[in-house]
Each structure stands twice: as structure tokens, then as C-alpha cells.
Chain A
Amino acid sequence: EVKLVESGGRVIRPGGSLRLSCAASGFSFGDYGMSWVRQVPGKGLEWVSGIKWNADRTVYADSVKGRFIISRDNAKNSLYLQMNSLRAEDTALYYCVRDHSSGWYDGFVIWGQGTMVTVSS
């Protein structure tokens, strides 16, 4: 079964740091680009960051550039999102998503169930 399972979400104070993880199974993880997409409950989708299959290219939304770092470990079939200098507006459900191709932009064909990050004092 093709699966993405996110973890690491919790309540954290503004200015804090958090690392999200995504464990992939059921497909050849190293062949595909990956992204993180977030959604405030009841609101729309926002793409956060993407990484190419071999990690030699990473891209970020302006809203998180300079604060978040995406990475992957193909040997461990895992995707990560290091979130620094967290703000209230980063509060959302964070989805790990697999791309249709080796890039990060060609359609998000597999979605995890999401992990909730709440930034609040």
C-alpha cells in the first residue's frame, strides 16, 4: 500500500522551532519529488516547499523562505521540514505529498493524513 505518514506536529510558542517528519512506504521514494502543503482548518491549500528527487533543488514559498528548510533521506524513505522562527500564521495542518514525477510541481498524487502544528502562546 502506498502511504505517507506525517509526525511531529504539536503546540509550540511563537519563535520556537519544530521538525516535521514524513515516512513513505509502498513506492520507490527516491524516484519522486516531494512537497509540503499546509491547510488552515476550514480554509484553502497553501504550498509550502518542494524538493527534487535527488535533493539537489529545493524551493520555498515566500511566506516561509529563510525560516523553513526541507530535506530528505532517500535511504530512510523520509521527508523532513525544519520549521524555525514560527509565527501564529504558520498554524495549520501540514500535509506531506508525493509528486507525479521527479520534480515538485507536476501534480501531488499521494497525500498523507497531515500533522497539526499550532503556534500559540
Chain B
Amino acid sequence: QSALTQPASVSGSPGQSITISCTGTSSDIGGSDYVSWYQQHPGSAPQLIIYDVTNRPSGVFSRFSGSKSGNTASLTISGLQAEDEADYYCSSTTASTTVIFGGGTRVTVL
């Protein structure tokens, strides 16, 4: 199964809001309640920032929010900060109960 489709890069200025899309099919995102988002800084392991489409683990800032419409999930970062510069990955379960990741999006804070 092919990876979920994410834009290669997204950029924004401090304080702005940005949205990262993650497009799949009805066999994954469209049919799944289990969409997650991860943040990865260089040299570090990924960190879960959104699970079950919209939920934030404890300790994750409220400026991170998730949503889903049809076969596309989205991560919005409101009030962009310098420390948000990182790679972001979406993931979803599939109809065959496997897990699939997106290709990743590099977020740059201008």
C-alpha cells in the first residue's frame, strides 16, 4: 500500500497558522477513526501530537489541532513558534488493520 500523501514542505511566519494535509483513500483515512500525527526534530525520535483524529496527548500544546474530512486529514498549528520547526508525519490504520504513514512534511518557520 502506498504512503499517505503529504506536502513536502510548508512554511509560515511566527504567530501565523499553518495547515498540513494528509490525503489517503476510503481504505485508510476515509474509513478510520485512528488517524495520528507525529512531530520529529532532527536527531530525535518522533513524538505523538494528535491521536484518534482530534485528540491531544497530555503535555502537547493546544496550538496543535487535528481534523478529518473524507479521505483527507489535517494538522493545524496555530500561533506558529520557532520550536515548531520540524518534520511532521500523519498515520492511519487501514482496512487490513495495518498502519500506514505519510511521506512527511518539513515545516519551516520563516
Contact = CB atoms under 8 A, between A and B. Distances in A.
Interface of A: 35, 44-47, 50, 59-62, 95, 100, 104-109, 111-114
B86 interface: no
A116 B104 CA distance: 21
A99 B51 CA distance: 10
Given A44-B3, A106-B51, A107-B51, A112 B97 contact: no
Interface of B: 1, 3, 34, 36, 38, 45-48, 50-52, 57, 89, 91, 93, 96-104
Contacts of B52: 106-107
A65 to B, nearest CB: 10
B98 A45 contact: no
Contacts, number: 63
A100 B48 contact: yes
B101 A45 contact: yes
Contacts of A109: 48, 51, 57
B47 A45 contact: no
A45 B46 contact: yes
A31 B62 CA distance: 28
